[in-house]
Amino acid sequence: MGKLAWQIIGVGAPIAAAFVARKTLTFAWEKSTKRPAPSNPVDDEISMSEALAWTIVSGVGVAVAQLVVQRIAANTVRNNFGDEALPKKFRKQIEETTD
């Protein structure tokens, strides 16, 4: 059950977070600049600086949203189903100490 929970929460939540973040950033961009968010980077009506600014804002915003949601998802699955429910790359690393 834990691995299925990770499939649903750990994979689905970051996708949903990216969608919501993109919509939120688009709304904020349009309210603050009074222009639509650049959707076509090669459009001649969009300046290079505006295209770069949108790329940076949207890229960082979506990445941060996905990171936060993925960490929350991993902690939720770990707390409810144990560390073994997570993929190996998300499991806590146990340090081996030799005395």
Three-state helix/strand/coil letters over 19-37 = HHHHHHHHHHHHHHHCCCC
From the list 38, 33, 32, 31, the residue with the least C-alpha distance to 52 is: 38
Q: Where are the domains of the chain?
A: 1-38+45-98
Kindly state the percentage of the chain with pLDDT values over 90: 45
> What is the pTM assigned to this prediction?
0.78
Residue 89, pLDDT score: 76
pLDDT band for position 78 (cuts 50, 70, 90): confident
Reading the block at residue 53, the tokens are 């600014």
- Phi–psi pair at 40, nearest 5 degrees: -125, 105
pLDDT tens for 19-67 read 999 999 999 999 999 999 998 878 888 899 999 999 999 999 999 999 9
In the DSSP assignment, the letter for residue 47 is: -
- The per-residue b/e assignment along 81-91, b for 16 or more CB within 10 angstroms, e otherwise, is beeebbeeebe
pLDDT in the model for residue 53: 93
